[in-house]
Amino acid sequence: MESHTFDYLVIGSGIAGLMSALHLSRLGRVAVLTKREAFESNTNYAQGGIACVMTDEDTIDRHVADTLDAGAGLCDEAVVRQILAEGPATIAELIHTGIRFSVRSDAEGGGYDLGREGGHTKRRVLHAGDLTGREIQVSLLRAVAAQPNIEVMEHCMVIDLITTSWLGLDDENRCVGAYVLCRQTRKIMTVRAPFIVLATGGGGKTYLYTSNPDVATADGLALSWRAGVAIRNMEFIQFHPTCLFHPKAKSFLISEAIRGEGAELVNAAGEPFMQRYDRRGSLAPRDIVARAIDNEMKSTGQACLYLDIRHKQPDFVHGRFPNISRTCKGFGIDIAHDLIPVVPAAHYFCGGVSAGVDGHTTIPGFYVIGEAACTGLHGANRLASNSLLEGAVCARLMARSVAAMGTPDARPDIRIPRWQSHGAVPSDEEIVVEHNWNEVRQCMWDYVGIVRTNRRLERAARRIQNLRQEIREYYHDYLVTGDILELRNIAAVAALIIRSAQSRKESRGLHYTLDYPETSPVAHDTVIADPAGEKV
Q: What is the pLDDT of residues 158-179, one digit of tens each?
A: 999 999 988 988 778 889 999 9
Q: What does the pLDDT look like over 492-535, one tens digit per residue?
A: 999 999 999 999 999 999 999 999 999 999 999 999 997 654 54
Nearest-angstrom CA–CA distance, 376 and 64: 13
pLDDT of residue 358: 97
29, 124, 226, 286: the active-site residue: 286
- pLDDT, residue 274, reads 96
Q: Which residues of 97-111 are buried (b: 16+ CB within 10 A; e: fewer)?
A: bebebbeeeeeeeee
Instruction: Render pLDDT for 181-239 as a digit per residue (tens, 0 to 9).
Output: 999 999 999 999 999 999 999 999 999 989 999 999 999 999 999 999 999 999 999 99
Record: fold of 245-346: Flavocytochrome C3; Chain A, domain 1 (3.90.700)
Average pLDDT rounded to a whole number, residues 121-149? 95
pLDDT at res. 107: 78
Closest by CA position to 471, among listed 497, 441, 494, 492: 492
More reliable by pLDDT, 105 or 217: 217
Q: Please give the C-alpha separations between residue 256 and each of 47, 273, 322, 342, in angstroms, as whole numbers.
A: 9, 17, 15, 12
Contact indicator for 301, 226 with CB cutoff of 8 Å: no
Query: Where in the chain do CATH 3.90.700.10 domains reside?
Result: 245-346
pLDDT at 534: 54
CATH hierarchy code of domain 3-235+350-403: 3.50.50.60
* Residue 256: band (very low, low, confident or very high) from pLDDT cuts 50, 70, 90: confident
Q: What mean pLDDT, rounded, does the chain reach?
A: 93
Once rounded to an integer, what is the mean pLDDT over residues 283-304? 90
- CA 408, chain centre distance (Å): 29
Give the pLDDT band (50/70/90) at residue 32.
very high
For domain 430-518, give the CATH number: 1.20.58.100
Q: Which of 105-114, 281-290, 385-394 has the highest mean pLDDT?
A: 385-394
**Percentage of residues in the chain having pLDDT higher than 90:** 82
Which tens digits make up the pLDDT trace of 359-383?
999 999 999 999 999 999 999 999 9
What order do you get walking across the sheet with 352-354 strand by strand?
373-374, 352-354, 231-232, 527-528
Confirm whether 286 is a catalytic residue.
Answer: yes
> What is the β-pairing status of strands 305-308 and 340-349?
antiparallel
| Stretch(es) of the chain classified as CATH 3.50.50.60 | 3-235+350-403
pLDDT at 536: 44
Q: Is pLDDT above 80 for 423? A: no
Per-residue model confidence as pLDDT tens digits over 322-337: 999 999 999 999 999 9
Asked if residue 410 has pLDDT above 90, the reply is no
Q: Is the pTM of this model over 0.85?
A: yes
The residues with which 5 forms a beta bridge, in sequence order, are 192
**CATH 1.20.58.100 occupies which residues in the chain?**
430-518
What average pLDDT score do residues 442-446 get?
A: 94
Q: Is the pLDDT of residue 157 over 80?
A: yes
- Burial pattern 131-163, b for ≥16 Cβ within 10 A else e, equals bbbbbbbbbbbebbeeeebbebbbbbbbbbbbb
